[in-house]
Structure 1
Amino acid sequence: MSLSSLLAPITLPIASLFAIPMLSSWSTSLNLVFFSLTWTTIAITYSPLQLEFFAPLFLRTFLYLLPSGLFLLFDLLLPSLAVELKAQGEIGLPARQKGGARKVRRVVGWACFNSILAVAVQAGVEWLVTDVLRMRSLLLIKGSAWTLNHLPNPWTLFKHSVLGLVLRNTLQYYIHLYILHSPSGGIFAHWHQTWHHSIQLPYSFVAAYDHPACYLLYRFIPLYLPAVAFRFHIMTYLLLLALFSLEEVFTYSGYNVLPSTIMLRGMARRTDAHMMSQGKGNYGPIGVLDWAHGTTLGADVMDDMRDEMEKHNVQERTGRAIDQAGDATNGLGTKLKNRARKGRGRK
């Protein structure tokens, strides 16, 4: 059986998940039923080992490697246009940095290798647990054959997603600070400095460019360990993997024009500062722990939130909404009073 034939059915539920918001002609309930039936069919047909290999591989390929490749092609083929979007100008272009095109090829090659390595390690652990030790899968994949309980309930999905987000960012901060950028980090700190921080300014592939051991320690374990410890449903794990893949693409892109979210632009700016300083601060992806521990370089996450609120006039809009609600309430009260007077007049 070819790789494409194996990937095709597994990608259906994942693709349908992202397609649901775009299918405006279908009701939400029909989309959810379609997705549920598709995923249930996949869960029955394929083993946990197959799901834990091909589904993450699909997400890392289409949500990290391919977008990173498109961004890199844009930087290389249209440098005069790309330089206008780079936060650090011309020095932010990949080919203009130390090592030139040869260094870019090395970064791309190791980024692809590390991304596939993490997927292979996850599948290898699953094979050891389920096929060799004959234990249940580390992630919740198969439900009861009688109830077809193959999807998490919405509350569990939300709860575990928030838990995974918090624990991943916490683990990444302390691993980054106390191992990868600490004298006590030993060989890991040396590898991280000579590999990852050999790049002065980031482009998307740099997020996965590190010594393989450092990559697994910093990128793979902070997501996978909480998922195993709390036995997340595989759909929750895939949702988080998709989110973090897109985060790496944008925050390491080096662009100053990014999707308008409260955190994303600030995360990209802090990533630039971390790389330019050779790791003197900004150790957490979001920046909350940097703010709490005083390791922020430049504007912190609170400054970003204030700027975003001012940009969107949050306070003004809130006040306007309250005023409109008050006017609507007063108007309704006036109408009711007028109707009451008319009723008494008729009597």
Structure 2
Amino acid sequence: SIMQAARDYAIYARGYIQGRLFSLPHSPTELYGVLVSKVTSLITLPLPLLSVLALPFFGGSGTTVNLVVFYLTWSALVATHNPHAIESGGTLLIRLLCFLLPALSSLAIDCAVPSLSKRFKAQGARQLPIHLVRNKGGLVEIAGIAVLNTLLSVLLQAALEYATTQMLHMRSLLKVTAIAPLPWTMVKDVAKGYIVHGILRYMIHRYVLHTVKSPLRTWHLQWQHSVRLPFSLIAAYDHPVNYLLSQWLPVFAPAYLFRYHVLTWHVLLALTSLEELLVYSGFAVLPSSIIIPGMARRTDAHFESVRSGRIGNFGNLGVLDFVFGTACDSEVNVVDDLESETAKHRLQDRIESAVGSALKGEPHKLSAKPKNMS
């Protein structure tokens, strides 16, 4: 009967609550032990990821040793931690280290030492956050929304995993196994995911946020494009729905579609997080001599094109903008960047010289650096 079912449920709930209360710490000493245990668990989560990221800095036989240590560490981590905690904890840590904390630090430096920061900005003092936002309250709001959106994306992913595994009793969205993927497999999967990410990002940004008249388009213009030029936190400053759709979904979708190993997901997330941090930074001095500076210039040009009414540069890399003719008219495209870099290093001359020497049977090596032009 209904009364009997309600009584059984009440008895079950009472027993469950008593059990949970019994497991809670009952003294300051027990509370301290629980906190230390949790903190230690969080500290150990990133160790395998940090070790695999450090592999390129070591060579020779040391690389083999590092790979062995990495695989052993990863196996131990999977054996001693909940898979859900590994995925969510690693995702949160990467977003903090590769985007949120550096972006907040950059904003603090821009506000504290504007005379120094303007020297590194592509458009000088005009691109300082204190000149782009009317008051400090506006900067606090931008920082708060960026933090909220970043944490919201991590929470959404954790909720999806919980719903899939615990409620629907299906396999996890990402693979968390003791057998880590081989480095070459990881590189191929990351490259494949990055291509899908770029296509989704371009399509959503162009059609959903800038073309089709909808609340999403209005929110995007009122939130992110209320700032004339970007700085790093602007990458995460948008209406939460827009942010999840245009920033989080293009990254997570390929990981879900191809069911990445969690390590591959973390590497892809780290790369895209660093991309957001750098291409929205507004800095003229950036890593790489081709890709990153060109992406940053195209992002700046996109923000200015919104103001002029001739919107372009919907993708970060610029390839799809070049193919579909949506690059800003005054902006150097990705092909121009590659041609400029090739000319800078006299790459064509060096290739022709190497081919000529090979045809003549003469030994020839491409020099690591171009000859002095003077």
Task: State the TM-score bracket (shorter-chain normalisation).
Answer: 0.7 to 0.9
Equivalent residue, structure 2, for 1:159: 188
**2:226 alignment counterpart:** 198
Deviation at 1:69, TM superposition (A): 2.2
Structure 1 gap segments, 5+ residues each: 143-147, 333-347
Which residue identity does 1:259 align to in structure 2? P
Q: Which residue in the other structure is 2:341 paired with?
A: 308
Query: What are the Cα deviations for residues 203-233 of structure 1, in whole angstroms up to 9, with x where unaligned?
Result: 1111111111100000111111121111111
1:135 aligned partner: 170
Distance 2:363 2:156 in 1: 64
Q: CA deviation at 1:267?
A: 0.3
Give the structure 2 partner of residue 344 of structure 1.
none
Residue 112 of structure 1 and its aligned partner are, at CA, apart by 1.0
- For 1:14, which of 45, 49, 56 is the aligned residue? 49
Deviations 1:17-68 (A, max 9, x none): 2222335696110011111111111122222211121001110101111211
Residue 250 (structure 1) shift: 0.8
**TM-score for the superposition, normalised by structure 2:** 0.82
Q: How does 1:11-50 map to 2 (within 5 A)?
A: 11-23=46-58, 27-50=62-85
In the alignment, structure 2 segments of 5+ residues that lack a partner are 1-33, 365-374
TM normalised by structure 1 equals 0.88
In 1, the alpha carbon distance for the partners of 2:363 and 2:199 equals 50
Between 248-257 and 23-32, report the one with greater CA deviation: 23-32
Is 1:168 paired with 2:189?
A: no
Query: 1:117 maps to what in 2?
Result: 152
C-alpha displacement of 1:196? 0.6
- Please tell me the residue identity of whatever aligns with 2:208: I
| Distance across 2 between alignment mates of 1:29 and 1:212 | 44
Query: SS in structure 1 opposite 2:46?
Result: helix
Matched residues in 2 for 1:311 and 1:254: separation? 24
Letter matched to residue 113 of structure 1: L
The equivalences for 1:248-259 within 5 A come to 248-259=276-287
In percent, how many aligned pairs have the same letter? Answer: 40
Look up the match of 1:337. none
1:76/1:24 CA distance change after superposition, 3 Å? farther
The one-letter code matched in structure 2 to 1:284 is G
Q: How does 1:238-317 map to 2 (within 5 A)?
A: 238-278=266-306, 280-297=311-328, 298-317=331-350
Q: Which residue identity is paired with 1:127? A: Y
* TM-fit CA distance, 1:319: 3.1
Quote how far apart the aligned CAs of 1:236 are: 1.1
SS at match of 2:71: helix
Distance 2:276 2:138 in 1: 20
**Residue 178 in structure 1 maps to residue 207 in structure 2:** yes
Contact 2:312 2:327 in 1 (8 A): yes
Sort the Cα spacing of 1:26 and 1:63 in 2 relative to 1 into closer, same or farther, 3 A. farther
Q: CA deviation at 1:162?
A: 1.7
Quote the offset at 1:326 in angstroms. 5.9
Provide the C-alpha distance between the structure 2 equivalents of 1:102 and 1:316, rounded to a whole number of angstroms: 55
The Cα of 1:271 is off from its aligned counterpart by 0.3
Aligned pairs for 1:65-84 (under 5 A) are 65-84=100-119
Aligned residue pair count = 324
Following the alignment from structure 1 to structure 2, what is the Cα–Cα distance between the partners of residues 273 and 71? 21
